[in-house]
Amino acid sequence: MRIGILANVRKPQTKMLTLKLIKWLVDRGHQAIICQNLVPIIGQKKLARDENRFRQESDLVVAIGGDGTILAAARVVGLQGVPILGVNLGTLGFLAEVNPDNLFVAMEKVAAGSYEIEERMLVKARVGKRDRWVYALNDFVIDKGGFSRVIELHVSISGIFVGSYKADGLIISTPTGSTAYALSAGGPIVNPKMKALITTPICPHSLAVRPLIIDIDELLMVEIYSDHEGATLTIDGQMGRRIRSGDVVTAAVAHRTVKLVRVDSKSFYEILRTKLKWGIKPTVEE
């Protein structure tokens, strides 16, 4: 089995854990492949591949870091259908279910084929009609940028005008992204097995403006007006581009999905309770 390793080089645990994983794979007859950015940290230059070869030669990718690293892995290999196993070195980690302590137990299950594939929907968006579609696993964020002045947003769904409002921005998220930035902005938590788009305004200057959940067959169009040139469209919090006043952002559910490897049978609601530290289940008195 050819296992690709993609890791957050800024995490202090990355070097030791990656070297242990490489040794574990080699000792068991598997092929280890690493992204080139790991070479300055761990060496192993012979195992390194550029981004194109990395996605072509990996049967499965282990993403070591946190949810941000999984988002990066989704961008590198996810669109090609390569399964991703997330290892959480961060704090919350909704996407990365494996901890460093149980990594090799998880890898034993992967090697034995004892795992499930969970497909997560993607959202696609473009600026204008001629721009190419880009994809996000979590969200697209329309943001006013570094200026203190708000931007004006004109929202339409499937050609029907919904409304105009002023705000710091708008989050267009998938159910997977509902527990990310959208959650902190007051958006709903949506089970990632569902297929829908969620729009969550960022600090709207009207109490009447609320998040919306949009059907998968509907097309979202957001026209942006700003009196400054600082507005941006950010993709999964990792890539972005400048938006000009008058630009129209179009978003829709993509037909592509990202495959996440699951070695644990925990339900989404159990993960929610654990990660968000919700109340303990009450005991029943006899």
Residues designated catalytic: 67
Which positions ≥6 away from 159 have C-beta within 8 Å?
219
Burial of residue 44 (CB within 10 Å: 0-12, 13-18, 19+) is: middle
Using the structure block, give the residue that is written with the tokens 């030669």. Answer: 57
CA distance 147 to 150: 8
Which positions ≥6 away from 242 have C-beta within 8 Å?
229, 231, 232
Letter for the amino acid at 93? G
Task: Tally the C-alpha atoms within 13 A of residue 9's C-alpha that lie toward its C-beta.
Answer: 10
Beta bridge partners of 156: 161, 221
Q: At what angle are helices 103-111 and 14-27 packed, to 10 degrees?
A: 30
Specify whether the backbone of 5 is left (phi greater than 0), alpha (psi in -120 to 50) or beta: beta
Q: Please, are residues 152 and 142 in contact by the beta-carbon 8 Å criterion?
A: no
Q: Please, are residues 237 and 71 in contact by the beta-carbon 8 Å criterion?
A: yes
Pinpoint the alpha helices (H) of the chain: 14-27, 39-42, 51-57, 67-76, 103-111, 181-184, 268-275
